[in-house]
Amino acid sequence: MSIDGQNIMTRSWQMRQSADESALEKLRQELPQMHPIIATLLVQRGLSERSSVESFFTPGLKRIEALPAMKDLAKATERVLKALQNRERILVYGDYDVDGSCATAMVHSFLRGRGAEVQAYNPDRYKEGYGISKQGVSHAIEGGFGLVLALDCGIAAVDRISELAAGGIDCIVCDHHLPGPVLPPAYAILNPKQRDCPLLGEELCGCGVAFELIRSVCGTLNLPKGEWMQFLPHVAVATCCDIVPLLGINRSLVSEGLKALNADPPPAYAALLRCAAYSGTLSVADVVFKIGPRINAAGRLNHARKAVSLLTATSLDEAMPMAMELEQLNRERRSMDKHMSEEAVELMLQEDPHMNRAATVLSKEGWHKGLVGIAASRLMERCYRPTVVLTELDGQLSGSARSVEDFNLYKALQHCEEHLIQFGGHAAAAGMSLSKESFADFKAAFEQYCASQLGEVECIPPLRIDLKVDFREWANEQFGIFFKQMNRLRPFGPGNMQAVFATEGCKARDVRVLGADGSHLKFEAYQEDNPAKGFSTIAFGFGQLAEALKEGNRFDLAYTIGTNYWNGESLLQLEAKDIIVS
């Protein structure tokens, strides 16, 4: 669309596939109390059976307790119990991101509570890199450890775990990344992505896998539920921040973890939220944007041990100084991120001014290794296509990649592996390293593969619309039922996003410009054929449309339905996802 000759919006709307009518009718007959719109959303999401809907609507502890045991879980449990009984030294070795930090803190706290001689270890992002490092192996051997628990890493560490075994140290891998053709010689491997694992298909994060080991140990020792329930906040934070699908067991883990975080947050999270000046009911998005970056800042700019120390704090007084330090690191991270992202965008536009390529692959000496993943995400926001951002250090390139929806990044890197030293990750995000001399060949191979798989790529991702409705279809005498059932779809996140509705023929009144730069709007939206029924609407980033809406132009509105809390009162509010002025 254009206003006064200026292009404002080029984003396309993509309607989600219609619900199968026969499945929808069957579900309505089985669950007549279901609101028609909610029934349609459920069938669209593959929930067309009464049993699957009831299971989806009732996440909780029973779902967690009913989870089948992973492959090697009994073997891993027995080995942990042996280490506890024999007073062996245990090294808890975790990755340096949110998932790895939460897993490390959780397992360390649990074992320490059982009287174990346990030590936490997170590799230095810059000196050691991702996964089990040579330094980590040396530390374990020289420190006389009898057991290493590798958390959120280890599935690809064939050589390093072989070295541990040669040194007489058993290793239990708790990982969720894709296994390669050769598995490491670990004592036990807990990974739901193993083909013969009973949990195949469950997208647990690394902390979630480690949590299952804790539950199993607690069960074998006949400990009360509270012994493992206390760690649900860690699992929820890790699951949310690792951007794994909030389906299956993850839905229960996050649901229960959010309950605990909102009812009585552990000291670390209470301190982080206080530093963030946050008060309210935490959602998945709040965890991702308020808690996650502050934990991640430790591993990005300093060392993940700072985050683990905070996450193992037992009182608010102990946690606050450490949380304040992470707050300062996060502020520094934001400043550096802004500068680096601006440089990356400028370089991208220099190399591909018309955005014709199917992928973005950039490298520059001096870029902060801890921020390349964030830069890749920023570039994805600017131009929607698979993106790799690398930095040079000591003649070697290393970095991160981010993917567009429905494009498997891991397979793309497999296709280019002859040009890489190592890589790892999953469909949506990955990390890699390569020699400086291989950069041109890797870039060409990666772009060629992306072009062959994607064809024409939209520079702006389409907006997925779940349903096209009139306001009166949900804002009627059944609104209470509709709103209650819609909230039962929570927690929202990957695989179960908040529904986006589209309503045509809208107009606005009481239009107000918000924000210091006037970039946001607030107005009351109504349909032209029903002006008496209006809805408070917030529109972030649509300030340029203020005059068009004030002048009474008709528009189509894409939005989510939520609430705004003001002066202790909960008020219905729409959040605009797009506005197309006629």
CATH of the domain at 369: 3.10.310.30
Indicate whether 80 and 29 sit together in one domain: no
Three-state secondary structure call for residue 506: strand
Scanning 231-364, the segments in alpha helix (DSSP H) are 232-241, 249-263, 267-275, 284-286, 292-301, 304-311, 316-351
* 437 exposure class (CB count in 10 Å sphere: 0-12, 13-18, 19+): exposed
Structure token pair of residue 450: 């992306």
Residue 336 lies in a domain: no
Helices (H) and strands (E) in the chain, counts: 22, 20
Could you say which of 454, 478, 510 is where a domain stops? 454
Indicate whether 19 and 111 sit together in one domain: no
Q: Measure the CA–CA gap between 495 and 245, rounded to whole angstroms.
A: 5
Name beta bridge partners: 422.
433
Indicate whether 390 and 416 sit together in one domain: yes
Q: Which residue has the tokens 């959602």?
A: 283
Could you say which of 327, 361, 387 is where a domain stops? 327
Q: At what angle do helices 232-241 and 206-220 cross, to 10 degrees?
A: 160
- How many structural domains does the chain have? 3
Residue 426 lies in a domain: yes
Indicate whether 213 and 128 sit together in one domain: yes
Which residues span the domain enclosing 521?
A: 2-57+463-581
Residue 338 lies in a domain: no
How, if at all, do strands 555-566 and 530-539 pair?
unpaired
CATH number reported for the structural domain that contains residue 492 in this entry: 2.40.50.460
Indicate whether 433 and 497 sit together in one domain: no
Structure token pair of residue 409: 């990044």
Quote the pLDDT of residue 565: 73
Residue 340 lies in a domain: no
Residue 394 lies in a domain: yes
Could you say which of 431, 454, 477 is where a domain stops? 454
Structure token pair of residue 431: 């990390």
Indicate whether 419 and 502 sit together in one domain: no
Indicate whether 487 and 398 sit together in one domain: no
Indicate whether 441 and 495 sit together in one domain: no
Indicate whether 138 and 46 sit together in one domain: no
Quote the pLDDT of residue 2: 32
Q: List, in order, residues 6 or more apart from 55 with CB less than 8 Å away.
A: 63
Q: Measure the CA–CA gap between 93 and 109, rounded to whole angstroms.
A: 13
Query: 472 near 530, Cβ under 8 Å?
Result: yes
Structure token pair of residue 545: 């449309």
Q: List, in order, residues 6 or more apart from 536 with CB less than 8 Å away.
A: 522, 524, 564, 571, 572, 573, 574
Indicate whether 52 and 80 sit together in one domain: no
Indicate whether 274 and 290 sit together in one domain: yes
End-to-end CA distance of the chain: 8
CATH number reported for the structural domain that contains residue 197 in this entry: 3.90.1640.30
Q: Measure the CA–CA gap between 356 and 402, rounded to whole angstroms.
A: 18
Query: 370 near 299, Cβ under 8 Å?
Result: yes
Residue 489 lies in a domain: yes
Residue 204 lies in a domain: yes
Q: Which of 106, 93, 98 is nearest to 218 (CA)?
A: 106
pLDDT along the chain (582 residues), means of 10: 39 90 95 96 95 94 96 98 98 96 98 97 89 96 98 96 98 94 97 95 96 98 97 98 93 98 97 94 95 96 96 98 98 94 94 91 93 92 92 89 90 96 85 94 96 78 93 96 95 94 97 95 96 96 96 97 79 96 92
Indicate whether 120 and 144 sit together in one domain: yes
Quote the pLDDT of residue 129: 83
Query: 204 near 69, Cβ under 8 Å?
Result: no
Quote the pLDDT of residue 395: 81
Side chain identity at residue 543, one-letter code? G
Let me know the angle formed at the C-alpha of 93 by 88 and 94, rounded to the nearest 5 degrees: 150
Residue 337 lies in a domain: no
